[in-house]
A and B are shown apart, each in its own frame.
Chain A
Amino acid sequence: MHKLLSASLALALAAPIGAMAETPPATASDIAALKEEIAAMRASYEARLRQMEERLKAAETASAAAATTATAANAQPAPASPGDATAVAAQPAPPAAAPQPAFTPSAVNPAAATAAGGGANAFNPALSLILSGTYAHTRLDPDNYRITGFKLPPGAEVGPGTQGFSLAETELGIAANIDPWLRGAANISLHPDDTVSVEEAFIQTTSLGNGLTIKAGRFFSGVGYLNSQHSHTWDFVDAPLAYQAMLGTQFGDDGVQFSWLAPTDQYIELGLELGRGRSFPASDNNRNGAGMTAITAHTGGDIGDSHNWRAGLSMLNAKANDQVFETDNVAGPGTFNGRTTVWVADAVWKWAPGGNATRTNFKLQGEYLRSRRDGLLNYSDVSGAALPAFGYRTTQSGWYLQGIYQFMPRWRVGLRTENLNPGPAGLDTLGEPFPGPIYHPRKHSLMLDFNPSEFSRVRLQLAQDRARLNQSDTQLFLQYQMSLGAHGAHSY
């Protein structure tokens, strides 16, 4: 800027001199030098302006005002005669300053473009971002993790994940009212392996009244208690084994959900869901009709000022067509055709002295899942040749019970215990009944978390995991979960 100022001053002085008829040779050479300097400056400015323009184009959100200024600035450096040099030299300052918004992040960031956008962004949806990362230390290799006795598709997200440091899902949440009748929300999950998935993306009615709400799109099913909650609100690092083994960790689907709240003082909510059945225990059903149906019923209330509770019963019905599952012995991959019905009984009870949960509070939560699979199993042997299909009917179950106690502000401690029953009709991977006693996977977890604020959490979790046949794994997790942006309201 200093250079620019001195240059323009010099030019302002030089211009009248240049206009004189008899100029000493020394001055003439000075003018030549100045001309060169101007040319160099002009070239440099034009280059910079071009650069700015490119950036401006790239940042499509930049305002029209900024664009106009930049265009005006570009039109400036036209004159070549020394007489006009004054004007040229005097001018560069404003154009240099004017297109500056193109450099500031605010013009690139659509959320902040309000400055020139005349409030066009005032209707931007609420944005939130969840950042989470984990350090895991496990005694056994997570790669050979199995929940013994439960047939799961390959790539099922079971077990402690990966050892060492890892980034957990980064979750981007966007939500807003669409119009006076509808609301929309999406949760985009950015995975540490650089893939992106749509966790939830739904529209929801806000104005039907009479306690009725309809949701359509992709959403977490309302079955049970934990299923509809986002992982960053869980009280432990991982989902209970029963959820991992029978609901594919968390059951979400593409479809429609009807929920109705009874007009009573007692909370009674009934739900019906119809879906595509895109994930376990269904398999993606590309056909007419629903591949998944679910019915949910929940009730709850208060007991005095200090206690409140919620309990429910849900049923999920899922169809599977050629659902591939992992086998762990000699046979090649197997497939399942048939239907699965999962019943979930859930209950949660919360206590806070006088209803004030700020200092101390306690939460007891338990769920029982029962899955019945009915259909045909197909196997191929190691050479790939198909073995004859046989009927498969089994009832499996599992439960977890957990208690979380906030013993002082910001600090919580929790204990979870869980157990799975692969069912009396246990079959090995070749369809033969299990010889000897059936193995019951089980796990105990202890956690301690520290919440510096409502928006941040650091958690330590220690688990003894006996999901693998006759093997005990010790798992240690250190995790952080942070929430940025819009203040998300949490469900009960």
Chain B
Amino acid sequence: MKFKSLLAIVAMPLTMAVVPAHAALKVLACEPEWGALATELGGNLVDVSVATSAMQDPHQIQAKPSLIARARNADLVVCTGAELEIGWLPVLLQQSGNARVQAGQPGNFAAADFVRKLDVPTQLDRSQGDVHAAGNPHIQTDPRNIAAVAAALGARLQQVDPAHAADYAKRQADFTARWQQAMARWQTQAAPLKGAAVVSQHKAFVYLYDWLGMKEVAVLEPKPGVEPTAPHLQSVLATLKATPARMVIYSAYQDPRPSEWLSKNAGIPAVKIAFTVGGTEGAKDLFGLFDDTVTRLVTAGAGR
């Protein structure tokens, strides 16, 4: 009892300290790409913290104490949605005691709601592995999706923080212009990749392939979310004899060994891509993410 009252006394001034009149909008981003986007669109009007890093498998995060504390204080939670965070975000929101960020509130933003989703399963059965009912959630690998999400997130920031609506609108227009330019550049740069046959370690790049017109001929994971097995790798190798691929692609957070094995045995390059901001040295922000990704893919593709 003593402990509790002591804590209450300690916490009281802190309560007041965190809600001054012109505090920056507190944004909790589930993944680094949305943290980077919120920073692009909010600048110094937002105080962004990111729940996960590029080195973590976004499917397998735990609702750890530091995240609960951050969810409690957030004004806006920006996540991918499409069930990517289903194993941890619901617990985080339940335990947060924060009404602003509950599902359905303006403070709860799911990026996948604003893009056209691919790989939407026609049949929902766990015998098919870790499938997502809403479709493939790895939407950030296509810059056109980033543009669509940016438009929606910009509007949401204006809604949540109306006092700075004009600033958000200005920043959004600026970002959109720069992003359109960059997209044109990447598309020109990646033109040689059109029609290229590739192998993926995890079914994480459908949106990237859709954007650049690449073809996925095989996946190293036998089922989504199931670790590659030796017999399955052999069967992929056999498939490549009939339909050769130009490269095998894996994300920074994944174990490179299955891709390296295939690279060695099939004689094709294994390409590590950042997958999200912070995944590689070059992927320092959203622009860097795609600069780096396109460069890596083109370099590997040109080698053949």
Q: Which residues of A contact B (CB under 8 A)?
A: 177, 180, 183, 204, 206-213, 259-270, 272, 295, 297-302, 305, 308-310, 313, 350, 354-359, 409-410, 453-455, 484, 487, 489-492
Find B66's partner among A208, A262, A267, A409 (CB 8 Å cutoff).
Answer: A267
Q: Would you give 23 A-B contacts (Cβ < 8 Å), ordered by A?
A: A206-B102, A207-B99, A209-B99, A211-B96, A212-B97, A261-B69, A264-B11, A264-B69, A265-B70, A267-B68, A268-B11, A297-B3, A297-B7, A313-B3, A355-B52, A356-B55, A357-B62, A358-B57, A453-B126, A453-B130, A454-B130, A455-B126, A490-B62
Chain A residue at minimal CB-CB distance from B88: A489
- Select from chain B the residue with minimum beta-carbon distance to A272: B4
B62 nearest in chain A by CB position: A492
B97 and A211 contact, CB distance less than 8 A: yes
- B121 contacts across to A, CB distance below 8 A: none
Pick the contact of B65: A267, A305, A356, A490 (CB < 8 A). Answer: A267
Would B4 and A295 count as touching, CB distance under 8 A? yes
In the complex, what residue of chain B is closest to A299 when comparing beta carbons?
A: B65
In the complex, B267 has a CB within 8 A of chain A: no
Partner of A310, one of B15, B53, B65, B99: B65
Which chain A residues lie closer than 8 Å to B52 at the CB level? Answer: 355
Q: How far is the CA of A454 from the CA of B4 in the complex (A)?
A: 38
Shortest Cβ gap from B166 to chain A (Å): 28
B residues 60-90 touching A (CB-CB < 8 Å): 60, 62-66, 68-70, 72-73, 83, 86-90
Residues of B within 8 A of A264 (CB): 11, 14, 18, 69
Tell me the smallest distance from the CB of A265 to a CB of chain B, in Å: 6
Least CB separation from A309: chain B residue: B65
CB of B180 within 8 Å of the partner chain: no
B227 and A265 within 8 A (CB): no
Q: Give the residue name and chain of the A residue nearest to B97 (CB).
A: A211
Q: Cβ of A213 and Cβ of B18 under 8 Å apart? A: no
Total count of chain B residues near the partner, CB < 8 A: 49
**Residues of chain B lying within 8 A (CB to CB) of residue A453:** 126, 129-130, 225-226
A487 touches B4 (CB 8 A): no
Shortest C-beta distance, A463 to chain B (Å), equals 27
Closest Cβ of chain A to B250, distance in Å, is 13
Query: Could you tell me which residues of chain B, from 248 to 265, have a CB within 8 Å of some CB in chain A?
Result: 253, 255
Q: Does B187 lie at the interface of the complex (its beta carbon under 8 Å from any beta carbon of A)?
A: no
Known: A180-B104, A261-B69, A355-B55. A410 touches B96 (CB 8 A): no
Contact check, A491 vs B3: say whether CB atoms are below 8 A apart: no
Please give the distance in Å from B21's CB to the nearest CB on chain A. Answer: 16
B295 sits at the interface (CB 8 A): no
Given A183-B94, A261-B72, A266-B69, check contact A356 B253 (CB 8 Å).
yes
B1 touches A (CB below 8 Å): yes
* Cα(A204)–Cα(B96), bound, Å: 12
CA distance A490 to B4 in the complex (A): 27
Beta-carbon contact of A300 and B65 below 8 Å: yes
User: Looking across the interface, which residue of chain B has its beta carbon closest to that of A408?
Assistant: B227
User: Is B115 part of the binding interface, using a Cβ–Cβ cutoff of 8 Å?
Assistant: no
Instruction: Tell whether, in the assembled complex, residue B98 and residue A211 are in contact, meaning their CB atoms are under 8 Å apart.
Output: yes
Cross-chain contact B97 with A260 (CB below 8 angstroms): yes
Q: Which residue of B lies closest to A175 (CB)?
A: B90
Whole-angstrom distance between the alpha carbons of A207 and B95 in the complex? Answer: 11
- Give 8 nearest A-B pairs by CB, closest first: A300-B65, A267-B65, A209-B99, A267-B69, A211-B97, A207-B99, A354-B55, A489-B90
> Does A259 lie within 8 Å of B65, measured CB to CB?
no
A262 to B72, CA, bound (A): 8
Distance A393 CA – B98 CA, assembled complex (angstroms)? 44
> B120 in the interface, Cβ–Cβ < 8 Å?
no
B91 touches A (CB below 8 Å): yes
**In the complex, what residues of B have CB within 8 A of residue A207's CB?**
99, 102
Given A207-B99, A207-B102, 17 further pairs, Cβ under 8 A? A206-B99, A210-B97, A213-B95, A213-B97, A261-B96, A262-B69, A264-B18, A264-B69, A265-B69, A267-B65, A270-B7, A301-B69, A350-B62, A350-B64, A354-B56, A453-B130, A492-B63
Per a CB cutoff under 8 Å, which of A208, A301, A308 touches B97?
Answer: A208
> Contacts of A268 on B, CB cut-off 8 Å?
7, 11, 69
Question: Are A358 and B60 within 8 A (Cβ)?
Answer: yes
Known: A350-B62, A354-B55, A489-B87. Is A263-B72 also a contact (CB below 8 A)? yes
Chain B residue at minimal CB-CB distance from A455: B126
Q: Which residues of A contact B97 (CB under 8 A)?
A: 208-213, 259-261
**Chain B residues, Cβ within 8 Å of A300:** 64-66
**Contact B99 A263, beta carbon cutoff 8 Å:** no
CA distance A491 to B95 in the complex (A): 9
**Closest chain B residue, CB of each to CB of A206:** B102
The minimal Cβ–Cβ distance linking A221 to chain B, given in whole angstroms, is 16
**B91 lies within 8 A of A489 (CB):** yes
Alpha-carbon distance A455/B86, docked complex (angstroms): 13
